[in-house]
Amino acid sequence: MNAIPKTIAVVGSGYVGLITAVAFAKLGHRVVCIDTNEEKVAKLRRGVVPIYEPGVRELLRDGLAKKKLFFTTQYEDAFAVHQPDFVFLCVGTPPRADGSADLKYVERAVVSIAKNLRKAAIVITKSTVPVGTGRHLQELFRKHTHKPVSIVSNPEYLREGKALYDFMNPDKIVIGSDDAAAARKVKRLYAIFKKPVLTSTLETSELAKYAQNAFLATEISFANTLAEIAEKCNADIRTIVETIKLDKRVGPNAYLGAGPGYGGSCFPKDVKALINFSKRAGVRAPSLLQAVERVNNGRINGLVTKAEFLLGSLKGKRIGFWGLAFNAGTDDVRFSPAVSLARALLKKGAVITAYDPLAMPEAKRDLGSLITYADDPYKAAKGMDMVVLATHWPQFKRIEFGHVKRLMRMPNVLDARNFLPAEKLQKLGFNYVGVGFPFIKGMHPSWLKIIAKDVKKLKRFSEHELRELREGLAALGKEVTLAPVFAEETAE
């Protein structure tokens, strides 16, 4: 498919590395992948994809069959046999305790590459790395090899669950390097996509990746900030978000999702790393980014409070979870808000049974026997005091909710992502609580009576919430004794 097929080495066969490898093999290049994880490499050699990503298995098997794709744990084999022109660095950059990006995998990979290079090479950093890393790696190569190495920063912007599609249909390609000839060669690898290519310094390219993720995380925290305000004043974040998205200057794909906050393997660590890096770069207070993080960190507690509103003490309460993955369409549970919420509820004494269409094997590694795992969403709801919609898998919209209501002990639904059909659930008689709109209206009368007697909860109610409660109680048509605080507050 490409005019001049190249030989490419891809270091690290995770989400980014594997997609890069199968995609370049599909485009006609010869690709050798090096990963230190023996189990992963053994699976990939057999055509088994260790992660869930649509379309990857077919390309992997095709690449293996056509001898365009090779997997090894040995740098020596990869470089001696294949002698790559391009080396893509795709190893992980997890957060350290202080929030900075841990570069040990990148540095180890660089030393291994340097020691095994047989000829000049262009080394392309796809891993997300702090500003200055490219220059640091250049030094590391100088120390460990005499072969000429050009460093190019070319961060990856794919989304998990749509990774192959995103790689093959990028919005943009960013190429940063001091070496214009190397940048041109890398640009040619992507020419087939006919998409905007931005060439820059190493530093601009490195910072642009953090800027992109921090911007998307900011949109999410912005929506969540507005959601908190909306809940207290009879406004609805769902309409507010739609209003903003319809603005010409924003657009329909804006990441304005009010919910459990951002998670996954990138946003939390990249926002943290950017804050850490900013401080080290002498930016006094990246207060906007700190606020983004603070809002996000508060989301799980906010949802726990909602669960307590519905159930009172969570001790011994049975809660069903729909979803564990950090996002729909993936089996990745790294920094998943669903898992964080489950942990927070467990801490309060809740008993959890969960169902996720894909992520249960991964979640089991994380949560183990702390929760029970169900085979389907109905089993996860059976006998429960509350169901939490934690990941917005499309199939959860198609659940037979009338059946769910009959299965549950108490018909409470906490929709952490405003994803389920709210009106339908309320009509069916569920106590439905979402994010970013008042939830007292539409509550079951028995719940209103309980809440009216709960001094602690009433203290946290806004004027609007108290008014809704009063109206709800009046509609019941019978005398209900209000807790003293309610009388005090209304008397003020």
Catalytic amino acids? Answer: 266
Residues from 30 through 89 that contact ligand NAD (CB under 6 A):
34-37, 40
Give me the helix-helix angle, 267-280 and 287-311, nearest 10°: 140
Nearer to ligand NAD, 19 or 189 (CB): 19
Stretch that binds ligand NAD, among 6-14, 192-200, 219-227, 274-282 (CB under 6 A): 6-14
Minimum CB separation from ligand NAD for residue 415, in Å? 26
Nearer to ligand NAD, 161 or 438 (CB): 161
Nearer to ligand NAD, 15 or 437 (CB): 15
Minimum CB separation from ligand NAD for residue 44, in Å? 10
Query: Token digits for 478?
Result: 């019978």
- Cα separation, 231 vs 471, in Å, equals 17
Minimum CB separation from ligand NAD for residue 29, in Å? 19
- CB distance 154 to 129 below 8 Å: no
Query: Token digits for 161?
Result: 């669950």
Under the criterion CB under 6 A, does residue 127 sit at the interface with ligand NAD?
A: yes
Under the criterion CB under 6 A, does residue 122 sit at the interface with ligand NAD?
A: no
Residues from 133 through 152 that contact ligand NAD (CB under 6 A):
none
Residues from 257 through 286 that contact ligand NAD (CB under 6 A):
265-266
Under the criterion CB under 6 A, does residue 91 sit at the interface with ligand NAD?
A: yes
Under the criterion CB under 6 A, does residue 372 sit at the interface with ligand NAD?
A: no
Among 59, 72, 87, 92, binds ligand NAD (CB under 6 A): 92
Under the criterion CB under 6 A, does residue 13 sit at the interface with ligand NAD?
A: yes
Q: What is the dihedral of CA 54, 55, 57, 63, to 10 degrees?
A: -150
- Cα separation, 371 vs 145, in Å, equals 51
Nearer to ligand NAD, 167 or 430 (CB): 167
Stretch that binds ligand NAD, among 91-99, 216-224, 274-282, 315-323 (CB under 6 A): 91-99
Nearer to ligand NAD, 35 or 331 (CB): 35
Among 105, 165, 193, 255, binds ligand NAD (CB under 6 A): 105
Under the criterion CB under 6 A, does residue 90 sit at the interface with ligand NAD?
A: yes
Residue 17: closest CA among 38, 1, 40: 40
Q: Which amino acid is at 344?
A: A
Q: Which amino acid is at 311?
A: L
- x/- contact string, 156-175, with ligand NAD (CB under 6 A)? x-x-x---------------
Nearer to ligand NAD, 127 or 225 (CB): 127
Nearer to ligand NAD, 91 or 207 (CB): 91
Under the criterion CB under 6 A, does residue 329 sit at the interface with ligand NAD?
A: no
Under the criterion CB under 6 A, does residue 109 sit at the interface with ligand NAD?
A: yes
Nearer to ligand NAD, 92 or 377 (CB): 92
What letter would DSSP give residue 101? B
- CB distance 333 to 363 below 8 Å: yes
Residue 267: closest CA among 212, 333, 226: 212
Under the criterion CB under 6 A, does residue 93 sit at the interface with ligand NAD?
A: yes
Long-range contacts of 210-215 (CB under 8 A, 24+ apart): 210/128, 210/130, 210/131, 210/270, 210/273, 210/274, 210/277, 211/274, 212/157, 213/128, 213/266, 213/267, 213/270, 213/271, 214/270, 214/271, 214/274, 214/289, 214/292
Under the criterion CB under 6 A, does residue 14 sit at the interface with ligand NAD?
A: yes
What sign does the CA torsion over 224, 390, 333, 170 have? negative
**Size (the chain), residues:** 492
- Which 3 state secondary structure label does DSSP give 353? strand
Under the criterion CB under 6 A, does residue 15 sit at the interface with ligand NAD?
A: yes
Q: What is the DSSP string of 241-265?
A: HHHHHTSTTT-TT-----SS---TT
Query: Token digits for 214?
Result: 């921090």
Name the β-bridge partners of 151: 123
- Which 3 state secondary structure label does DSSP give 79? helix
Minimum CB separation from ligand NAD for residue 347, in Å? 28
Minimum CB separation from ligand NAD for residue 335, in Å? 11
> Which residues, at least 6 apart from 103, have a Cβ–Cβ distance to it below 8 Å?
93, 129, 130, 133, 136
Residues from 19 through 38 that contact ligand NAD (CB under 6 A):
34-37
Under the criterion CB under 6 A, does residue 176 sit at the interface with ligand NAD?
A: no
**Site size with ligand NAD, rule: CB under 6 A:** 26
- Cα separation, 145 vs 444, in Å, equals 71
Q: What is the dihedral of CA 476, 477, 481, 484, to 10 degrees?
A: 80
Minimum CB separation from ligand NAD for residue 77, in Å? 13
Stretch that binds ligand NAD, among 101-109, 395-403, 430-438, 456-464 (CB under 6 A): 101-109
The site for ligand NAD (CB under 6 A) is made up of 11-17, 34-37, 40, 90-93, 105, 108-109, 127-128, 156, 158, 160, 265-266
